[in-house]
Amino acid sequence: MPWQNNNEVFGMKKKMSRFIVTAFLLSQLAAPLAYGHGDANGDQGPADLNTITISLQDKTSGAVEQVPLFSRRHAETPVAMINGEPILLEELVGEVLNIHGSMDAAESRQNVDYRALLDRLVAIKLANQEAANIGLDQLPAVRRQLEDFARTTLIKTLIRNQMTDLVPDQEEVDELYRQMALEAKLTTYTVTSKEDANLLLTQEAAGQDFDTLAEALVQAGKASGGSDEEYVQLRELLPNVAAAVFAMEPGTISEVFKAEKGYLVFRLDELRTYEDAEVRKDAEAMVLQRAAATRREAYLTELEEKYVDFDEEAAAALDFAAITEARPEAAATEIFAELTADQRPLATISDNDTVVGVVSVADIARELEKSLYHGTDRTINPTKMENKKTSLLRDKVIHIVGALEAEKQGLHQTRAYQETIRKHREKLIFNTFISKAVLPGITVKDEEARAYYQENNEQYSTPLMLKLKDLAFTNEQDAANALVKLRAGSDFKWVSANAAGLVPEENKELLHFAGALLSITALPEGLQGKAAKAGTGDVMLYADTTGLHYVLQVEQAFPPQAKPYEQVKNEAAKAVYAQKVREALDEWVASLKDAYETEIFLTAKK
């Protein structure tokens, strides 16, 4: 089909790309603890996870004990003590899970450096204590961020609690699934010129037979294509083509679509639903998301009705349609000068006749004025102002009533909430300490960046590029036979024509390596090691995770080339800067350990 094989509308080839993102993180706090289910006092998780232990020294006796890492009973056991403040085992577990995931794989467990993770927590704790002593935690910006985060977290918790019993409506899921899991049988033609494609539609609309007209274009060399017995899933088409197919009736003809090579015209022969568990999961998720949005809106409206009184007279002051109608030439600066001075309550939030918050006309006006990025010397757009006004007022009201209701329910007293706030506070203050105490004075000279570039030249080289020819087999033996023949000097085309057990082209698991110049990093991970030193003419065998076996011959190889320093000097400078930050932080931590009594109870690194 033209929209599948030549990228005119959709390409079936699997994209073999690997994005490597390198980031220098100054801090990563522990992820939420996930001990699993079971006895609240016992060890948690699968039996094999319960065998993971760490060595902890008892502070009083000095005895070393093997403590299960995933143990609820030992969760509050100190693994370190900083100036009398403990770092608990559950914090270390959180850091382990944050870095290494679920720990289900044996390889993950073997690669955990518990001491390095604990050192990270120690650094954060030391920085927090020093920051508190020099008053960084009392900076207005820090206090404001903490207050905003605490309030937002409370409101999110409140709303999340309203969703605990939410389930997707199965009738809605079925209906949405029937719309999403559609596949079509199409008769498609790629016409060389737009004029011929439009003429085809005009003649068909006048009563002539579509197939006869299209086949005449094919015979004249002006088109290609025809009927196809295969079905194509709508999600595999470009959005505009899929939308057209969805709206069509069987037997009808499409409009003309621009393709990479020519113009597409097709007839919808049949449209049907197919079975796909993943699509059904997507449908369930979408229905659940809609239901959650509906319940959220209903709940917030209920809170507004419970706590909020709106002043309609004050609201009229922010009727921007009326304002611009009465004063069409007035600049925004003139209008907002008046509105930002209007202190009348627009919304009053009360609890048992006690006012707990007010949103004034001026509050909304100030925010609206800030949103005028192009200045206030021009007239305002009433429609934009109305939309922003409504959103701002709702946000400010919910900011107050949400926190009020959450506190009345005692959500701010729950351990989960307090732990979330503690972790965020530690992270925020640690980052503040870094920016205020560690980073000032750190600079990178050009000669330092250049020296780093020269010492790490391989990091700044283009990857090995390969142009490959491929044969895919359903079993390993047939692939091995082809490999032997190619290594013996047989012609690739001859081997391809005479090989047994080749994978059919229509197999959707088939990877296509041929036809494009691929970087070594774009290849599947299992192949990268084999291809790392490949040269022109080399042949290799690769088995993918789906059970297919590939014989690959290198048609051309382009070795890595070092990039000029001027092209990568910013990257090199960033690497040197990150290294200096690490060293400066290490120096700070060492000096803080002298100032604050630091005890480590973890006795083994791994």
> What's the pLDDT score for residue 335?
93
Separation CA 343–CA 78 (nearest Å): 53
- Average of per-residue pLDDT across 578-590: 96
What does pTM read for this prediction? Answer: 0.71
Q: Which residue has the higher pLDDT, 40 or 426?
A: 426
* Closest by Cα among 151, 158, 11 to 515: 11
Checking if the pLDDT of 459 tops 60, the result is yes
pLDDT at 99 over 90: no
Percent of the chain residues topping a pLDDT of 70: 89
pLDDT above 60: residue 80: yes
Task: Tell me what pLDDT residue 26 has.
Answer: 32
The answer to whether residue 29 scores a pLDDT higher than 60 is no
- pLDDT tens digits for range 276-317: 999 999 999 999 999 999 999 999 999 999 999 999 999 999
**Mean pLDDT confidence for 542-562:** 93
pLDDT surpassing 50 at residue 32: no
pLDDT over threshold 80, residue 591: yes
Contact 1, 8 (CB under 8 A): no
Query: Which alpha helices (DSSP H) does 327-412 contain, by range?
Result: 332-339, 361-370, 382-408
Q: What is the pLDDT of residue 103?
A: 57
Ordered DSSP codes for 272-288: EE---HHHHHHHHHHHH
**Tally of CA atoms within 13 A in the half-sphere of 412 that contains its CB:** 14
C-alpha 198: how far from chain center: 43
Q: pLDDT at position 15, please?
A: 30
Three-class HEC string of 294-343: HHHHHHHHHHHHHHEEECHHHHHCCCHHHHHHHCCCCCHHHHHHHHCCCC
* 228-247 confidence digits (pLDDT tens): 788 999 988 988 999 999 99
**Residue-level pLDDT at 420:** 95
Q: What confidence score (pLDDT) does residue 307 get?
A: 97
Averaged pLDDT for residues 411-440: 96
Question: Looking at residue 104, what is its pLDDT?
Answer: 56
What mean pLDDT do residues 436-449 have?
Answer: 96
Residue 35: band (very low, low, confident or very high) from pLDDT cuts 50, 70, 90: very low
375: three-class secondary structure by DSSP: coil
Taking each helix axis from N to C end, the angle separating 194-205 and 210-219, rounded to the nearest 10 degrees, works out to 150
Angle between helices 382-408 and 140-161 (to 10 degrees): 80
Across residues 108-115, what is the average pLDDT? 76
Rounded-to-integer distance, Cα 541 and Cα 471, Å? 10
11: confidence class by pLDDT, cuts 50, 70, 90 = very low
* pLDDT interval class at 52 (50, 70, 90): confident
Indicate if the pLDDT at residue 437 is higher than 60.
Answer: yes
Examine the pLDDT at 599 and tell me if it is beyond 60.
Answer: yes
Average pLDDT, the chain: 88
Q: How far is it, in rounded angstroms, from Cα 527 to Cα 405?
A: 56
Compute CA distances 535 → 446, 454, 532, whole Å: 37, 26, 9
Is 60 exceeded by the pLDDT of residue 466? yes
Mean pLDDT to the nearest integer, 252-258: 95
- C-alpha distances in Å from residue 442, one per residue of 19, 589, 591: 30, 17, 18
Average pLDDT over every residue of 415-440 = 95
Spatial contact of 349 and 400, defined as CB atoms under 8 Å apart: yes
